[in-house]
C-alpha cells in the first residue's frame, strides 16, 4: 500500500457510469489519502469531475472524436507511461480500457473477471451480476482491504452553476420555493423511452392538481423531444432546459426540484447524487442489472412480463413488436408514485 503513490482510474463509458464511479473515487482517496489520483474519461462526461476534492488530475480521451484511431491511442499510451502510475483501477469492462492500463506499463492493474481484457489485469475481481453498479465498482478495492460505508454518488456544482440554474428558474417564472418537477424523457436507446404523450399527461396533472411546473432536461439530442412535450402542456406549465446547460448546471437544477421523473438513463443517477427523489420507469431493462436509483426514497415503476429483460442496454425496437413493457405503464400509475413523493416533500418543506 505504501508503495502506491500514483493511481489511475479509467472510466470512459456513459454519463451515468461516471456518476456511479464517484463512490469508487472517494473510496480510493480514503484508502490512499496521500496518493495522486487521476481519472481518465471522455470529454462529454469530464464536467462531472470538476471540483471533486478526491481527484488531482483529469485526463481526457476523446475516443470517438479527435483521438479516434490507433495513432491517437498509442500517443495516449505514451503519455500514460510518462506519468509512471503505480496502480490502475478499471471499472469499464471494454478491451480498450484494459489495453490502456496494460500497455501503459502500470505495475498493478485491477479489473473485473468479465472484462474483455481480463488477461491484462494483475488483480481480477469477481463481477457480481445482481449487485448494484456502485457496489460492483467498490469491489475493485477489495484486494487492498478498502471498504466504504457511505456509498452515495456525488457531483459538485459550483456557485456559478447554481446561479445559472436559479436564473433559468427566474426566466421561466418559476419560484425556487415552489420546487418544480424535473422530467427526463430521453435515452440513447429508443426502447427505454416511455411514450412522450404519457410524460405530457403527467405534466398536465401535476400543474392542475399541485400547481407544479415541469422542467424538461436532457442533452442537445433531447431538445426536440422535450419541446414536443412542453408544447403539449398548459401555457406556462413547462420549461425546456435540454441542451442549454452543462452537466453540473443540470445537477444544480435537479437539486432545486422536488423530484425527477425519468426513464432508465443518466439523469436518474445525477438526481440521486444531488439527493433529489427519483421515479424511474424501467421497460426493457430491469433494476437487477444494477442501475436502479441508489438508496432510499426512490421508486421504480415497471411491469412484470415474461419477455423482460430483453437486453442489457435496451434496443432500437421491441423484439416482440408490442412494446408492452412501456406502453403498459399508465400515467395514472406513475402519478400515484409521484404524488406520494410530493406529499412527503411538502411535509419536509412545510
Domains of the chain, by residue range, sit at 6-144, 159-349
Dist. CA 119–CA 48, nearest whole Å: 31
Q: Is 65 exposed, middle or buried (0-12, 13-18, 19+ CB in 10 A)?
A: exposed
Tell me whether strands 36-41 and 57-60 are parallel, antiparallel or unpaired.
Answer: parallel
DSSP bridge partners of 225: none
| Mean pLDDT (10-residue bins), the chain, 350 residues | 89 97 98 98 97 98 90 96 98 96 97 97 97 98 95 98 98 93 95 96 95 96 97 95 97 98 97 98 96 97 95 86 94 96 70
Do 265 and 192 touch, CB atoms closer than 8 A? yes
Please report the pLDDT score of residue 2 as a whole number. 61
Q: Is 44 exposed, middle or buried (0-12, 13-18, 19+ CB in 10 A)?
A: middle
Give the domain 159-349 fold: Rossmann fold (3.40.50)
Are 6-144 and 159-349 equal in CATH topology? yes
* Ramachandran bin of 130, using left for φ above 0, alpha for ψ from -120 to 50, beta for the remaining angles: alpha
Phi, psi of 5 (to 5 degrees): -120, -15
DSSP bridge partners of 301: 281
Please report the pLDDT score of residue 347 as a whole number. 60
Dist. CA 350–CA 344, nearest whole Å: 10
In CATH, the number for domain 6-144 is 3.40.50.2000
Q: Quick check: pTM over 0.85?
A: yes
What DSSP assignment string belongs to 209-243? Answer: HH---EEE---GGGHHHHHHHHHTSPTTSEEE-TT
Amino acid at each position: 500500500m505504501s508503495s502506491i503513490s500514483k493511481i489511475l482510474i479509467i472510466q470512459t463509458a456513459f454519463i451515468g457510469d461516471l456518476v456511479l464511479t464517484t463512490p469508487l473515487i472517494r473510496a480510493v482517496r480514503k484508502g490512499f489519502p496521500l496518493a495522486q489520483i487521476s481519472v481518465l474519461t471522455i470529454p462529454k462526461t469530464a464536467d462531472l469531475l470538476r471540483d471533486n476534492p478526491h481527484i488531482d488530475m483529469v485526463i481526457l480521451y476523446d475516443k470517438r472524436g479527435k483521438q479516434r484511431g490507433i495513432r491517437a491511442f498509442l500517443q495516449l499510451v505514451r503519455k500514460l507511461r510518462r506519468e509512471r502510475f503505480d496502480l490502475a483501477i478499471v471499472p469499464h469492462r471494454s478491451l480498450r480500457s484494459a489495453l490502456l492500463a496494460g500497455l501503459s506499463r502500470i505495475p498493478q492493474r485491477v479489473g473485473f473477471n468479465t472484462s474483455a481484457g481480463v488477461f491484462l489485469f494483475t488483480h481480477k475481481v469477481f463481477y457480481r451480476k445482481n449487485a448494484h453498479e456502485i457496489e460492483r465498482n467498490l469491489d475493485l478495492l477489495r484486494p487492498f482491504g478498502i471498504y466504504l460505508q457511505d456509498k452515495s454518488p456525488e457531483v459538485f456544482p459550483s456557485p456559478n452553476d447554481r446561479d445559472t440554474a436559479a436564473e433559468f428558474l427566474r426566466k421561466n417564472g418559476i419560484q425556487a420555493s415552489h420546487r418544480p418537477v424535473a422530467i427526463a424523457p430521453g435515452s440513447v436507446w429508443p426502447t427505454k423511452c416511455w411514450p412522450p404523450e404519457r410524460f405530457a399527461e403527467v405534466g398536465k396533472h401535476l400543474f392542475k392538481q399541485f400547481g407544479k411546473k415541469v422542467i424538461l432536461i436532457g442533452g442537445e439530442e433531447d431538445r426536440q423531444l422535450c419541446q414536443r412535450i412542453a408544447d403539449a402542456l398548459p401555457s406556462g406549465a413547462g420549461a425546456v432546459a435540454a441542451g442549454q446547460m452543462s452537466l453540473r448546471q443540470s445537477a444544480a437544477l435537479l437539486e432545486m426540484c422536488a423530484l425527477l421523473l425519468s426513464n432508465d438513463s443518466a439523469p436518474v443517477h445525477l438526481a440521486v447524487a444531488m439527493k433529489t427523489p427519483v421515479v424511474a420507469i424501467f421497460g426493457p431493462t430491469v433494476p437487477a442489472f444494477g442501475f436502479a436509483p441508489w438508496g432510499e426514497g426512490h421508486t421504480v415503476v415497471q411491469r412484470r412480463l415474461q419477455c423482460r429483460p430483453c437486453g442489457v442496454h435496451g434496443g432500437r425496437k421491441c423484439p416482440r413488436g408490442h412494446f408492452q413493457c412501456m406502453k403498459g405503464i399508465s400515467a395514472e400509475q406513475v402519478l400515484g408514485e409521484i404524488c406520494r413523493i410530493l406529499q412527503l416533500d411538502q411535509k419536509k418543506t412545510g
